[in-house]
Amino acid sequence: MINAALVGIDFGTGGFQASLDELRLLARSAGAIPAALITARRRAPDAALFLPGGKTDELKSALGLQNIDLVIFNHALTPAQQRNLEYRLERRVVDRTTLILDIFAQRARSHEGKCQVELAQLHYLKTRLVRAWTHLERQKGGIGLRGPGETQLETDRRLIGERIKTLKARLDRLHRQRRTQRRRRVRNAVFSVSLVGYTNAGKSTLFNALTRAQAYCADQLFATLDTTSRRFYLSDATQGVLSDTVGFIQDLPHELVAAFRATLEEMVHADLLLHVVDASNPARREQAEQVQQVLSALDAADIPQILVWNKMDAVPEAVPELASSGAAERDAHGRIRRVFLSARTGQGLGALRGAMAEAVATAPL
C-alpha cells in the first residue's frame, strides 16, 4: 500500500462532498491509503498547475510531513498540468481518469476485459507521451543527444498505433461473436434482461440471487468488469437471459466508454433494463442520473426499464420518499415503476420476479 494525498477543487457545481467520498473509495480500490486531503474553492482551474499557487505550496508541505509518494486529483488534468505538478511537487501525480483506468487494469479477468482496458489505456497514453521524454526535448544539442527525443516519440507513437490496431481487431472478432449470439437469442424468442447501475450498487449480488450463479461480487468499486450472462426462470413456461454488466461512475473516462462499447452493447440490445440503485447511498439520485446519462450516450435510454432500489436492509433510517412504499410501486398506467428490495437478504425478490414476468408477458417478441 502507498500513502496518497487526495486533491479536490469545488467549482460550485454541487455534489462536491459526495465526489470526495467517492475519490477515497477509488483510491482504496486502487491500493492507496488516503493520508491527506487538500481542498479549495475556485471558479476555474489554474491553467498551469490546476491548483492555485498557495494550495500547491500547502500540498507540497503536507507531502513532506506525512511521507506521501502519490498525489491523486479528483479531476482530469491536462498533460502540461500533470507535468508541471510533478516538477513542482517532486512526486508522481495522477488524475481521476488515470486512477479509474488503473483500477480497471487490476480487475480485468477475461481476455476481452483485458483487451478493452489496454485499449483504453493506450488511447489515453497517446496524448501524454511527451511527459516521458521532456528531459530529451529540452536538450537542443550535445554529443549523443541530437534528435533522440523526437525519434523516440515517433517510435512510441508507431508502436502504440500498431498495438491499438491489433486490439481493435481482436475486439471486433469478439463483437461479431456477441452479435451472432444475440441473433440466435432473437430467433429463439429469448427474452433478454440487462442489469445496469452505478458501481457498487449490488448488481452482481442481485444477479446471483436471480440466477443462482456465483459471479464475483464484493463491497468495492468496479468488482465486475466482464459481462456475464445466465438463464433465469420466472416459471416453468417463462425464462430468459440475464446479463450482469460493468458499473458506471461519475465522469467515467471517455476512453473506457469507447473501449467497452462492445460489452455495453449487450444492454443496448436488451428487451428490459433493471436499473439497480443503492438506496442506502445519500447520493442515490445523483448516481441514478449519471447512469441515465451514460445510457443516453449509448442510445439505450428508450429501452423499457425498472428501477430496482437495492440495499433496503442497509438504509440507516426511514427515507421520506420510501417511508410509505411497499415492495413495488406502479406508475399512472399501472406498470411497475420501482421495486424496493435487498438482494443480500432476499427481501422483495418476489416482487421483482413478478415485475419481470409482467414485462415478459407484454413484450413484443
Q: In 159-294, where do the E strands start and end?
A: 191-197, 228-233, 239-244, 272-278
CA 89 to chain centre: 29
Write out the binding residues.
197-204, 222-226, 244-247, 310-313, 342-344
CA 348 to chain centre: 27
> Cα–Cα distance between 160 and 158 in angstroms, integer?
5
Domains of the chain in start order, with CATH, are: 2-94 (3.40.50.11060), 189-362 (3.40.50.300)
Query: Counting beta carbons within 10 angstroms of the beta carbon of residue 214, is it exposed (0 to 12), middle (13 to 18) or buried (19 or more)?
Result: exposed
Q: 282-305, pLDDT tens digit by residue?
A: 888 988 998 898 888 878 888 999
Contacts of residue 245, defined as CB under 8 A and 6 or more positions apart, other chains included, come to: 194, 195, 196, 203, 224, 227, 263, 264, 266, 267
Write out the binding residues for GTP.
197-204, 222-226, 244-247, 310-313, 342-344
> Cα–Cα distance between 145 and 192 in angstroms, integer?
60
> What pTM value is reported for the model?
0.78
Q: Are strands 305-310 and 272-278 parallel, antiparallel or unpaired?
A: parallel
Q: 154-202, pLDDT tens digit by residue?
A: 777 888 889 999 988 988 887 787 777 666 666 566 788 999 999 888 9
| DSSP of 296-349 | HHTT-TTS-EEEEEE-GGG--S--GGGTT--SEEE-TTS-EEEEE--TTT-TTH
As given in the structure block, the three cell numbers for residue 337 are 415503476
Write out the binding residues for Mg(2+).
204, 224
Which regions in the chain score pLDDT beneath 70?
130-153, 181-189, 214-226, 236-237, 253-256, 258-263, 265-266, 316-326, 364-365
pLDDT at residue 147, rounded to an integer: 47
As given in the structure block, the three cell numbers for residue 284 are 442515490
Give me the sign of the Cα torsion angle 121, 123, 128, 129: positive
As given in the structure block, the three cell numbers for residue 43 are 471558479
